[in-house]
Amino acid sequence: MQEQTPIGPVDATRVPRYAGPATFARLPRLDEVSRADVAVLGVPFDSGVSYRPGARFGPGHVRAGSKLLRPYNPALDATPFGTQQVADAGDVGVNPFDLGEAIETIDREVTALRADGTQLLTIGGDHTIALPILRSLARDHGPVAVLHFDAHLDTWDTYFGAPYTHGTPFRRASEEGLIDMERSLHMGIRGPLYSKQDLEDDAVLGFQVIRSDDYEVDGVRSIVERMTRRLAGGPVYVSVDIDVLDPAHAPGTGTPEAGGLTSRELLNTLRGLVGLDVVGADIVEVSPPYDHAELTGIAAAHVGYELLSVLALNRAGA
């Protein structure tokens, strides 16, 4: 059977970039294609936040910031929309009042979308959504390595007695056996902690830490080498909290911390994932009420573009 040519974004020479569909990168909707290799799924949910809300508006904001994305990625010599079918799956309808039900809904919807082999790039939403996604992935892959870009560890136990928040998903995931404890990695960690015990607890849960300051001392190339050594040998899930970027590059987020990565450092690091077994990814914590000039939405859209390029190259290599 002859493979169908992927349907790509709307032609920007015929429809101006400020017009056309409000999908990621102006791609077709999932119901407009026979099937997708990768689906971009929005999860407009922020009931797990501990400080500034607004990430429920993140998916639409990131889609708006993606209108300038073009079909060819020269940094990776990749055509992420030409060698795989990428489609926008719309948003999950998540209960904003019942966090437990929301987690179950996300798990169910993600599992249904993945049933035919479609990979997901999920746009949040707050970081709570990573837990149900990992539950879904682990049923097929077993424990996966988590590559976690964030200013924060997100392995705290509870907040105000609540076990499920945007600061706890990776502790719960580790306790549930969803994470490969020999291969998982935090990237870009910085800022004050409650105590030194936070780091000690985190190590027990299976993570190594590359700090934001390490980028300044060691450089991106060295960081990528350390990252690929840690992740090699099995499936990898990539979770990008946009607050891994310095607030100068991503002001529109709920818990900003000074001293973060530049957008250039983050994009170059993500390109180092080519050749690894990336089985899914998310971009979370984009909060448009605190964004100006679409800085954060644009940065998040480019993060998504690099991740889609990595998936395209990995698929071609496979």
Q: What is the pLDDT of residues 127-140, one digit of tens each?
A: 999 999 999 999 99
Which whole number is the average pLDDT over 76-105? 97
Would you say residue 224 lies in a domain?
A: yes
Q: What would the pLDDT profile of 70-89 be if each residue is shown by its tens digit?
A: 999 999 999 999 999 999 99
Is 202 annotated to bind ligand? no
pLDDT digits (tens, 9 = 90+) for 209-238: 999 999 999 999 999 999 999 999 999 999
What is the rounded average pLDDT for all residues in the chain? 97
Domain-located, residue 15: no
Distance CA 114, CA 132 (A): 13
The domain total for the chain is 1
pLDDT tier at 4, thresholds 50, 70, 90:
confident
On the question of pLDDT at 50 being above 90, the answer is yes
Q: Does 1 reside within a domain?
A: no
SS3 248: coil
Q: Note if the bond before 125 is cis, omega within 30 degrees.
A: yes
| Residue 120: CATH number of its domain | 3.40.800.10
Q: How confident is the model at residue 3 (pLDDT cuts 50, 70, 90)?
A: low
Structural domain contains residue 11: no
Domain of 292? 24-317
Report yes or no on 271 lying in a domain.
yes
- Domain assignment present for residue 238? The answer is yes
Model's pTM, two decimal places?
A: 0.97
Residue 243 annotated in ligand binding: yes
According to the annotation, is 150 in a ligand binding site?
yes
- pLDDT over threshold 60, residue 123: yes
Inter-residue contact 314 to 37 (CB < 8 Å): no
Question: Does the annotation place 141 within a ligand binding site?
Answer: no
Mean pLDDT, residues 176-191 taken together: 98
pLDDT at site 251: 98
pLDDT beyond 70 at 1: no
Cβ neighbours for 28, distance < 8 A, ≥ 6 positions apart: 7, 21, 87, 88
User: Is residue 57 a part of any domain in this protein?
Assistant: yes
Q: What is the pLDDT of residue 22?
A: 95
- Please answer whether residues 56 and 49 qualify as being in contact, where contact means their C-beta atoms are separated by less than 8 angstroms: no
Amino acid at 28: P
